[in-house]
Structure 1
Amino acid sequence: MSESPYRLAVVVASTREGRFGPTVAKWLAEQTAQRDDIDVDVIDLAYHPLPVNLSSEPGPQETAALATVTPRLAEADAFIIITPEYNHSYPASVKNLIDWHYTQWQAKPVAFISYGGLSGGLRAVEHLRPVFAELHAVTIRETVSFHSPWGKLDESGRHLDEEAGTSAAGAAKAMLDQLGWWALSLREARAARPYGK
């Protein structure tokens, strides 16, 4: 009996003008389209701005903004965060998304695709790992990082260098394979034994 696809929420973290994140998201869409074990939901934070003032009792405007995102995080079995590196760390928009939620992350796996200058955004990833650990999420070791990617991917997300594109696709496959194992295993575990209860 084959298992049903797991639901993957892809979070495009950058909201900055001229951002590169959507190009990376298009590249990822090409990778996930080759698989039948994933049902993808893209949450682009530029189109889902959340209030910056956190509250345990959000008002009507805050509740309406959260309603466009929170149920989608709750339904996800796994996450991929596509993040740039800003000032040696991750953007405030993704931290705001994280901080508005808690149970939605618990006992679920999180993978990362990063981009930036020489470090390829890896410092942002290393800063996100302990944040997700605090939320009882499991971060995946395998990552994909794009080092100085501007001008190396076309507007559709296709790698212009065939060798580099093959290498990136291989890294994505390893990451998605690992993410899938955790997503299915933890989905089964949550169904059998609800987390934290």
Structure 2
Amino acid sequence: MADKPKIALIISSTRDSRWADKPAQWALKHMQARDDIEVELVDLRDFDLPFFNEVASNAYVPTQDPRAVRWQQEIARFDGYVFLVAEYNRSITGALKNALDQDYINWGKKPMGVIGYGSVGAARAIEQLRLMAIELQMVPVRAGVHIGGSDFFRVSAYNPNPEPMEALDGILAGSVKDMLDQVSWYAGILKTARAAVQQAA
């Protein structure tokens, strides 16, 4: 497929003891196996983002902090996003909320999918994230991947003998495919539409 949409897989937890790396590598393999998208892993740890302290959103005035500008430039490179969501106290991580707030312009008119993990598969955090995404003019897709309950325990650090993530493929592969099918479809459609708008301008 020529000019495939570029999708970012965003790791949203930054703490030293995070578990995110294991499902991130699993998700990355699933995404790299497809021929309709290109994927890059984007780790919030790699961006020294300050707490949002601009005069206003970059929807209204240019951002001043060069660290936030670097993040905006990173976000702008992609045609869609898959967020790896850890649920902290029934919501997304503070690091992810801050990263979302640092940009407005470059998130818009692009799809977003989710892979969540925790006791209830990060369902509560993901519902909040979808609302935030709508405000940022992203297009949340319906399908999502929820690693919760006994499945989460099987592969997580809470298990003294955790299984590899591939142990869940038989359970979750269908959800992964559905979510990525939707992200890919919207990414292609919206990429074409954004290009048409830019050309007309």
TM over 0.5: yes
- Tell me the CA shift for residue 135 of structure 1: 1.1
3-state secondary structure, aligned to 1:112 = strand
Of residues 151, 155, 168 in structure 2, which corresponds to 1:152?
155
3-state secondary structure, aligned to 2:114 = strand
3-state secondary structure, aligned to 1:141 = coil
For 2:125 and 2:106, how far apart are their aligned partners in 1? Answer: 21
- Over the matched positions of the two proteins, sequence identity in percent amounts to 31
Alignment of 1:47-196 (within 5 A): 47-56=46-55, 62-63=65-66, 65-117=67-119, 119-148=120-149, 149-152=152-155, 158-159=164-165, 161=167, 164-194=168-198
Structure 1 residues 160, 6: closer, same or farther in 2, change over 3 A? closer
Structure 1 residues 69, 42: closer, same or farther in 2, change over 3 A? farther
Gaps of 5+ in 1: none
For 1:105 and 1:160, how far apart are their aligned partners in 2? Answer: 31
For 1:109 and 1:53, how far apart are their aligned partners in 2? Answer: 24
3-state secondary structure, aligned to 2:144 = strand
Corresponding residue number in structure 1 for 2:59? none
For 1:6 and 1:75, how far apart are their aligned partners in 2? Answer: 10
Contact 2:84 2:116 in 1 (8 A): yes
For 2:70 and 2:40, how far apart are their aligned partners in 1? Answer: 12
Amino acid at match of 1:193: V
Normalized per residue, the structure richer in helix is 2
1:15 aligns with 2:21: no
Structure 1 residues 58, 180: closer, same or farther in 2, change over 3 A? closer
Answer with 34-43 or 73-82: which moved more: 34-43
- Tell me the CA shift for residue 58 of structure 1: 5.4
- Tell me the CA shift for residue 69 of structure 1: 2.4
For 2:48 and 2:153, how far apart are their aligned partners in 1? Answer: 25
* Matched positions, count: 187
Structure 1 residues 53, 4: closer, same or farther in 2, change over 3 A? closer
Answer with 134-143 or 16-25: which moved more: 16-25
Question: What stretches of structure 1 move > 4 A for 4+ residues in a row?
Answer: none
Gaps of 5+ in 2: 56-61, 158-162
For 2:169 and 2:63, how far apart are their aligned partners in 1? Answer: 44
For 2:97 and 2:13, how far apart are their aligned partners in 1? Answer: 11
Residues 154-177 of structure 1 show CA distances to partners (whole Å, capped at 9, x for unaligned) of 9xx94253xx32221221111111
